[in-house]
Each structure stands twice: as C-alpha cells, then as structure tokens.
Amino acid sequence: MDEIRSYYNATRNSAQRYPRLEGELRVDVAVIGGGFTGLASALELAERGVKVALVEAQRIGWGQSGRNGGQVTGSLSGDAAMRRQLARQIGTEAADDFIWMLRWRGHDIIRRRIERYGIACDLKLGHLHAAYSAGHLRDMRQAHAEMVERGLGADVELVEAKDMGRYLDTPLYHGGIVNHRNMHLHPLNLCLGEARALAGLGGLLFEDSPVLEIEHGPTPSIRTPQGRVVADQVLLAGDVYHRLEPRKLGGMIFPAAGGIVATEPLGALARQLNPLDLAVYDSRFVLDYYRMTADGRLLFGGGANYSGAASRDIAAELRPAIERTFPQLRGVGIAFQWHCHMGIVINRIPQLGKLSPRVWYAQGYSGHGLATSHIVGEVMAAALLGSPRGFELFQRFRHRRVPVGDWLGQRMLALGMWYYLQLERWR
C-alpha cells in the first residue's frame, strides 16, 4: 500500500490496521470505499442494526478524505445550479430550504459523531471567507444578509477591509465573512475515529482489498483479488479513485490535483498571524485555503490542477502564495508536502444514483466534501433502508456526461476552468 507523507499521517492518532478481505462472507450492505462517504454511510447503517462490510483498496482515509484542508464549511460549489434545477421542479422556497439544509446539516452530524464516539481530531470553531477583491466583498454582503435572515446572525459577521487586521495579519484581502459555526479539524483522525466507531458496532472493515468487479443481480456481490462479499445491497462510494462501472459512470467525474503543505511550527508567530485561530479560504474560483494546526504550523493548500496531474514540487508552487499572504513567512521551512485528488463534476452538483436495482453510488463533491459527504451518508443510508426522499431530490438533478473519453474529457475540463479564471481576473 502507498504511504502518503502528509502532516496528517505523521500525526494520526491510531495505527489500527484492518485485515485484507479473504474468502467469502454475507452481509446486508457492502460498501466500497474507506473515505468519508463510505464511512458515514456505513456508520449510519450500523447504528440502525444493519450488518455492513466496508472494503477499501488502500487504507482507511487514504484518499481525499484523509488529505484535505480540514475545513467544515457551509459552502456548496454547485448551489446556483442546484437552485435553478430544483426551483423548476419543487418550487423556489422548497429548493432554497433543501440547499440550506445541505449547507449546514453536515456540521451537526460531524459534531454529534465526534461527541458520541469520543473522536480526538483537533476540532476548532471559526472560519473566514476572505474577499480577494472589492467586487467579491459586494457579493458577500448579499450572502451575509441571507445568513442573518435565516437565523445565523449570532454566528456570522461581515468584516470590512479596515477591520481585517483584527482577524489576519495580512495585507491581501478586502474584507470577508467570519463564521463561528464553521469548523476545522484533522480529517484523517476523524476518518479513523469513524472507522473505529463502525467496528465497535459490529461493522466489518477491510483494507488492501481493491474491488475488481461488482456483480449485479437480485443478490449483488463485490469481488476482490482474494475474496468476495455477497450482500442484499451494494454502495459504491469510491469517488474519483476507482474505475468501476465505466459504461455508466465514465465521463461523469474527473480528478483535479491539489497541493497542500505544512510549515515548521511557527511558535508565537502563529497567533500573531491568525489571532482567532480561524480557518480561511479566499473568494477566487481557484482559491487558496489555510489554517493553523494544533501544534502551530501553517497548513496551506491551493492551486488546483484541472488536468489531473500532480505537481512534483508542491512546496515550490505554493511558497509564493504563502509569502504573498503572509510576508512574515518569507523563507519559512516546509516540513510536509502532499497532493490530493478532488472529484470534479461538470455542474459541481454531487452525483447520487443507482447502477441497478440493488447497487447504488454517491460521488463528486468538487472540493467541498467534508461536510457534504456526511449529509450524503445520511441520505444514502436512509435510501438503502427504504426512505428515499432525500435521495430522490438528488436524483432530480441533471448531470452532463462527457462522451469523449476520460483523457479528452479531462482536457475539456481544464480548458473550461481556464476560461473561468480569465473571467475572474476582470471582477
């Protein structure tokens, strides 16, 4: 199995390993994928007494779920498209309520789970959405007004450019929204804690067990090199890391490679740069995001590559952005660097569906998956147990499938992202 030399792996709080799947077993539900979607769905099912087997090709949390920026925010990259599509079908008010639920339900699920199972994952409250231009701040005024109207007035504040020094010691931004409901945490340790909770409820977890084939039918099954799981239902939750079911899922989701670094510990400088210990991301289409770790490092990510190719020197690519944001960190030591692959959907709306009557799938968070994947886990568990209302709302969304193959589709995506970047430069 590949080891990722990330800050998260270096500070994981569990060395627990799960066995390779060998032989045949029978369960109620087989879940493919040991990231947040698979774990959240499996844990929801296990809490309801369902016998679950979760099968992971590498290690639990090996993919994007254990490598991301660790920010739990009420952001949805496809919210405008969702609102337009749903409003035509269920009405504007119902569409707005559904999207609002998607923004915030994940926070409640994650906090409840951390408390219930005693998961140590460096949970902190507080986030800043930083306006990269004066035009972006104008857009934020409207977003802030909606939050206040919907009852979040005590949790959010609109910050003008002149007041930014109270929140960040940087000359870069024109204001922003501080949100005290949003959170940040150690995502790999959250993954590992959820896996431990699943095992404690009788869930079966297997690592180093890549699924080679899903066998459909009245009693579907999944096959790995050394084993097979027969189940009443199967959930494919591998996001962009698998190549299963290409006839139906090919051209639906594409990888974008993002880089992240963690500096050497900053000592007292960490509090000077970020006095309230906020997680931050800026307002650009391809944005920078960062926060301080529990041991006082700057964890900084950005510069997504929509061709899907990972950088060979992430630190060299991100250092200019770090030093532009915080000139005080010029020449700072970079202790860790790693990349992650985000699953990008053309319209940025998560994809939930069925491949056959008893085989389901969920994927595609376009870089905003930490909170959303937990909502999807709740939705998928309910659907598998016969309460499909939330699932059916997701099914109403129309998704574009790129019919030209993954290689050309990836380049079309990169061209589209380049176009939006050019538009953004004029805002």
Residue range 19-54, pLDDT digits in tens: 999 999 999 999 999 999 999 999 999 999 999 999
Q: How confident is the model at residue 173 (pLDDT cuts 50, 70, 90)?
A: very high
Q: Is the pLDDT of residue 187 over 50?
A: yes
pLDDT at 408: 52
The lowest-confidence range among 21-25, 308-312, 413-417 is 413-417
State whether residue 309 is helix, strand or coil. coil
Between 356 and 396, where is the model more confident?
356
Q: Which two tokens stand for residue 208?
A: 């180093």
Q: Is the pLDDT of residue 293 over 80?
A: yes
Question: Tens digits of per-residue pLDDT, 268-291?
Answer: 999 999 999 999 999 987 889 999
Beta strand pairing call for 298-305 and 334-344: unpaired
Question: Tens digits of per-residue pLDDT, 318-354?
Answer: 999 999 999 999 999 999 999 988 888 877 788 999 9
The per-residue b/e assignment along 226-236, b for 16 or more CB within 10 angstroms, e otherwise, is ebbbbbbbbbb
Q: How confident is the model at residue 227 (pLDDT cuts 50, 70, 90)?
A: very high
The alpha helices in 118-186, defined as continuous H runs, are 134-147
Phi-psi label, residue 220: left if phi above 0, alpha if psi -120 to 50, beta otherwise: beta
Q: Is the pLDDT of residue 75 over 90?
A: no
Q: Inter-axis angle of helices 369-384 and 92-117, to 10 degrees?
A: 100
Q: Is the pLDDT of residue 57 over 90?
A: yes
pLDDT at 422: 44
How far, in Å, CA of 400 to CA of 254, rounded? 12
pLDDT at 36: 97
Q: Supply the CATH classification number for the domain 1-123+185-252+347-396.
A: 3.50.50.60
The CATH T-level fold of domain 124-183+254-344+404-427 is D-Amino Acid Oxidase; Chain A, domain 2 (3.30.9)
pLDDT at 209: 98
pLDDT at 308: 53
Comparing C-alpha atoms, which of 312, 352, 270, 327 is closest to residue 78?
352
Between 311 and 214, where is the model more confident?
214
The alpha helices in 64-168, defined as continuous H runs, are 79-90, 92-117, 134-147
Mean pLDDT of 184-188: 98
Compute CA distances 396 → 386, 392, 399, whole Å: 18, 6, 9
How far, in Å, CA of 221 to CA of 383, rounded? 19
Q: Which two tokens stand for residue 181?
A: 């409901």
Q: Is the pLDDT of residue 315 over 60?
A: yes
Between 204 and 90, where is the model more confident?
204
Question: Tens digits of per-residue pLDDT, 107-143?
Answer: 999 999 999 999 999 999 999 999 999 999 999 999 9
Q: How confident is the model at residue 421 (pLDDT cuts 50, 70, 90)?
A: very low
% helix, strand, coil for the chain, step of 5: 40, 25, 35
Alpha-carbon torsion, ordered 347, 305, 279, 378, to 10 deg: 40
Q: Is the pLDDT of residue 203 over 90?
A: yes
Between 307 and 61, where is the model more confident?
61
Question: Tens digits of per-residue pLDDT, 359-403?
Answer: 999 999 888 889 999 999 999 999 999 999 999 988 887 767 665
Q: How confident is the model at residue 171 (pLDDT cuts 50, 70, 90)?
A: very high
Q: Which two tokens stand for residue 91?
A: 């009405």
* Fold agreement (1-123+185-252+347-396, 124-183+254-344+404-427): no
The model carries a pTM of 0.92
pLDDT at 311: 62
pLDDT at 309: 58
Domain ranges of the chain: 1-123+185-252+347-396, 124-183+254-344+404-427
Q: Is the pLDDT of residue 90 over 90?
A: no
